[in-house]
Structure 1
Amino acid sequence: MSHRIIKALYIDDDAALGRLVQRILGRRGYEVEHVATAEAGLARLAEGGIDVVILDHDLGTTSGLAVLEDLRAREHAPPVVYVTASTELSIAVQALKAGAVDYVVKAIGDDFEVLLVAALEQAVERARLMRAKEEAEQQVRQAKDRAEMLLAEVNHRVANSLALVGSLVRMQAGAVKDTGAKAALAETQARITAIANLHRSLYTSTDVQQVDLAAYLETLVGELGNSITASGKTPIVKLDAEPVSIKTDRAVSVGMIATELVTNALKYAYPVGEGEVRVSVSRTPSNQIMLSVADDGIGWTGDGTAKGSGLGGKIIAAMSKSLGASLEYHSQPVGTLASITFDEKLGC
C-alpha cells in the first residue's frame, strides 16, 4: 500500500456506526467522510477526491443497489465495498453484479474491522492497477497512432519520390531516338509506377499492413491505360476484380506481375495497336486468389510458350516465387490467357 492517505466515503444512515467506522479506519491511516443519504453521497462523489466508497445496503428511503447503478454510469467512479447487516447471499450477489468490488457483513467485534480493512485495501489496490493498465493501454494506442502517422508520411514521400523518378524516366524515353531504348525505358517507367501506386494506396489506407487488391490494381491498370493512350496505341485495358485484401509485401509482387503481363500483351498481342487486355482477380473454389491477364491477339505461339523471355520474364518468375505460385499459360481459340494462383497468406 502507498503511504498516501486514502480518502474513503462512508454512506450509511446509521450515524453511530458512521462515527465508529471513522475511528476504526482513522487508526489505520484512512481519512473517512460520512454522509447519511444516497443523495449526499452522490453529490460528494461528484466533487471528486474520493479513493474508495463504503456503501451500506439499507439507506432508509433507498437501497445501496440504486447508488451502485448510478455509479456504474459514471466514468472513473471509485471502487465500492458493500456492507450489509443481512447474511443473505443473494444481497451480496446483487451488489457484486451491480458493480461492487467486495462486500462485508456488519458484525460487532474485531472481525468486522479486519474484514472491512482487508476489503478496502484490496479495492484500492485493484483500482490502482486498473488505472495503471488503462494508462499503459492509452500510451500504447498513442504510440501506435504516432507510428501509423509516421508510416503514412513515409509512404507518401516514397510515392512522390517514385512518381518523380517515373517522370524523369518518361522524359528520358521521350528524348532518345532508338526504338528499343525507348521501349525499355517505357517498361521501366511502368514498373516504377506499379511500386509508387502501392505506396500511394498505403498512405491513403487505414491499415498499412493490408492492401485492397482491387483498388490497387484499378489504379495500376488506369496508369497503364494512360501510358498506352499517350504512346499513340489504342488497346484498351479492363479490370474485373473481386474484393480481396492481401499483405502489403505480397501486393507488390502481384502488382509487378500484372504490370509485366499487361505490358507483354500490349507488346506482342496487338502489333497494329487495336484490341483489349483483360485483367481479373478472383477467388477459386479452394479459396485461393487467381490473377489472370487475357487478350484476343497473337501473343500465343502455339507451342506452350509466350513471346518475350527477357527481363520481364525474370521479374514474373521472381515475383511468382515470392507468392509461392508459378505462371501458367492457357490455350485459347484466340489470344493468350496467363494466370497465377496463390494462397492469401502463404509463400516464400
Structure 2
Amino acid sequence: MSYGAEANDPIRVLYIDDDPGFAALAQRALSKRGHEVAHAQSGSEGLALLAQGGVDVIALDHTLEGETGFDVLCQLGPRGARPPVVYVTAARDAKTAIQAIHAGADEYVVKDMDGAFFELLAVAIEQVLDRWRWQRLRERNEKEVRAARDRAETLLREVNHRIANSLALAAAMVRMQASALSDPAAIAALHETQRRIVAIASVHRRLYVSDQLGLVEIDDYLGHLTAELAESLRDSDHDHRVELNAEKFVVPTDKAVSLGVIVGELVTNSFKYAYPPQQKGVIRVSVGGTAEGGFLNVEDDGKGFDPAERSKGTGLGSKILVAMTRTLGATCTRDVSPNGVRTRLEFPLP
C-alpha cells in the first residue's frame, strides 16, 4: 500500500466528522494549500472510503454520532498498516489527546471555530505525513541493508568454507608427501607443517558455522583444535591428555588465527618433549578475558627444560611463536621449573 508517494504531490486527506458544515470549512482551508479532501460523516463511511485506497492522512474527529474517534481507531488497524491519523478533539484538556495517541493516533489538534485551527490542522497533517514518509524510507533502507548484509554473509561463509576445504586438501597433500620420504627430520618437518595448516583451516570452519560474521567463538574453536591436535599427535610414545578451560567469548578472525597457531605450537611442543616416552601426562590450555584484555595459558607437569640448552627441534616453532605474539600485540612470559612449563600470553581485545 502506498500513501503520498511524492513529497510535492497533493496530500489526499480523509476527513471523518459528522458535522458537514465544519468539514466543508476544513476542506476549503486544506484545498487552499493544494490538498485534496474526501469527507465521511461516520466511521463506517470513512472505513469504506479508506478501503478504496488513495488516502495519505486521516483527520478523525473525536465526537461522532453514536460513536467516538476511539471506536474508529480500533477498526483502522495498527500503525504501519494504514495511513497516519491526526486526531481532532474539542476537549482542551490533555487527557483525550493522550488517550488518542495511546489508541493509535499519530498527532492531535484541538478543535475550535478560530481560524487558527485550520492552519494548525494543515500543519499537523503535513508534518505527520512527513514523519510517516521518513519512517517508511528508513524501514525500506534498513530492509535493503539487512538484505545486502545477508547476501554478504552468505558469500563470506561460502568463501570461508571453500578456504577451509582448500587448506584441508593442502594438509592432505603434505601428509602424502611425508609418507613418500624416508628422512625422519623431513618427515617430522612436514608433519608439523600439516598441523599448522590444520590449525588455520579450523579457524575458517568455525567461522563458517558462527552466527557473528568476522568473529570466532574462541571456546568452540579451541575445543575443536585441541581435540584435533591430541588425536594427530598421539602415538605409542606420546599418549597425553589435553584439557581445555575456555571462557565463552568472541575474538576477531585474525586474532583467532594467531591464537590457534600459538596453541598448536605450544601443545605440540609439550606433547613431544614435556614427558618421557611412554609416560602419560596432561597438557592444560586455558583462555579467558579480563578488563585489560585476553589471556592464554598453556602448561604441563613435565620435566621442564633448561632455556640455555639448544632447541630439540628445528627452532621454527619458537620463531612462529614470536611472530604470532607480535601479530597479537601480546606479551609472552614463560615459567620453567623441574615440575613443568607454563607459558602465558596476554593480548588486547577490541
The alignment's TM-score, normalised by the length of structure 1, stands at 0.87
Q: Report whether the alignment pairs 1:192 with 2:206.
A: no
Q: Deviations over 1:265-297 (max 9, x none)?
A: 122223524423423224477664332222233
Shift of 1:309: 6.8
Separation (CA, whole Å) in 2 of partners of 1:103 and 1:266: 75
1:132 to 112, 127, 137: 137
Query: Is residue 275–residue 296 contact of structure 1 (8 Å, CA) maintained in 2?
Result: no
Contact 2:270 2:283 survives alignment (8 Å): no
Q: What is the CA deviation profile of residues 68-97 of structure 1, one whole-angstrom value per residue up to 9, with x for unaligned ones?
A: 455563433211112122333433344345
The structural deviation recorded for 1:178 is 0.5
Name the CA distance, whole Å, in 1 between partners of 2:304 and 2:74: 75
Q: Distance in 2 between matches of 1:319 and 1:246?
A: 15
Question: 5+ residue gaps in structure 2?
Answer: 1-5
| Deviations 1:85-121 (CA, angstroms, capped at 9, x unpaired) | 2333433344345443333333335433322222222
Report what 1:59 is aligned to: 64
Q: Is the 8 A contact 1:235 1:277 kept in 2?
A: yes
Query: How far apart are the structure 2 equivalents of 1:145 and 1:174?
Result: 43
Contact 1:293/1:338, CA 8 A, preserved across alignment:
yes
Q: How does 1:24-63 map to 2 (within 5 A)?
A: 24-42=29-47, 44-46=49-51, 48-63=53-68
Q: Distance in 2 between matches of 1:62 and 1:306?
A: 92
> Offset at 1:168?
0.6
Q: TM-score, normalised by structure 2?
A: 0.87
Matching residue within 216, 234, 240 for 2:239: 234
Out of 205-214 and 321-330, give the one that drifted further. Answer: 321-330
Asked if 2 retains the 8 angstrom alpha-carbon contact of 1:279 and 1:291, the reply is no
Aligned-partner SS, 1:291: strand
* Unmatched runs of 5 consecutive residues or more in structure 1: none
Q: Which amino acid aligns with 1:250?
A: K
Q: Which residue of structure 1 lines up, in the alignment, with residue 349 of structure 2?
A: 344
Residues 1:293 and 1:105: Cα distance change in structure 2 (over 3 Å) = closer
1:323 match: 328
Aligned equivalent of 2:177: 172
The match for 1:245 is 250
Which of 75, 79, 82 is residue 80 of structure 2 equivalent to? 75
Q: Between 161-170 and 232-241, report the one with greater CA deviation.
A: 232-241
Deviations 1:191-212 (A, max 9, x none): 1111100011111111122211
Deviation at 1:130, TM superposition (A): 1.7
User: Is the 8 Å Cα contact of residues 328 and 347 (structure 2) preserved in structure 1?
Assistant: yes
Q: Secondary structure at the match of 2:87?
A: strand
Give, in angstroms, the shift of residue 44 of structure 1.
4.3
Contact 2:73 2:104 in 1 (8 A): yes
1:72/1:98 contact within 8 Å kept: no
Aligned-partner Cα distance in 2 for 1:270–1:158: 36
Question: CA–CA distance in 2 between the matches of 1:284 and 1:113?
Answer: 63
| 2:230 is the alignment partner of 1:225 | yes
Question: How many residues end up aligned between the 2 structures?
Answer: 345
Q: Distance in 2 between matches of 1:29 and 1:51?
A: 14
User: 1:240 is paired with a residue of what secondary structure?
Assistant: strand
* Matching residue within 254, 259, 269 for 1:264: 269
Q: What is the identity, as a one-letter code, of the residue corresponding to 1:294?
A: E
Distance in 1, matches of 2:184 and 2:164, equals: 29
- The answer for the alignment partner of 1:102 in structure 2 is 107
Report the Cα offset of residue 176 of structure 1: 0.9
Q: Assess, with a 3 A threshold, how the Cα gap between structure 1 residues 140 and 158 changes in structure 2: closer, same or farther.
A: same
- Corresponding residue SS for 1:336: strand
SS at match of 1:142: helix
TM-superposed deviation, 1:254: 0.8
Partner residue in 1 for 2:161: 156
Task: State the secondary structure of the residue aligned to 1:257.
Answer: helix
**2:200 and 2:260 in contact (8 A); partners too:** yes
Aligned-residue offset at 1:263:
1.2
1:304-326 CA-to-partner distances (Å, cap 9, x unmatched) read 99755711101111111222323
* SS of corresponding position for 1:90: helix
Q: Deviations over 1:243-278 (max 9, x none)?
A: 232222111111110000011112222352442342
**Counterpart pick for 1:87 among 88, 92, 102:** 92
Q: CA deviation at 1:46?
A: 4.9
Contact 1:265 1:299 in 2 (8 A): no
Shift of 1:237: 2.6
For 1:306 and 1:244, how far apart are their aligned partners in 2?
35
253 and 199 in structure 1: CA distance in 2 versus 1, 3 angstrom threshold:
same
CA distance in 2, matches of 1:307, 1:277: 20
Distance 2:114 2:339 in 1: 98
Deviation at 1:331, TM superposition (A): 3.5
User: How far 1:27 sits from its partner (Å)?
Assistant: 4.7
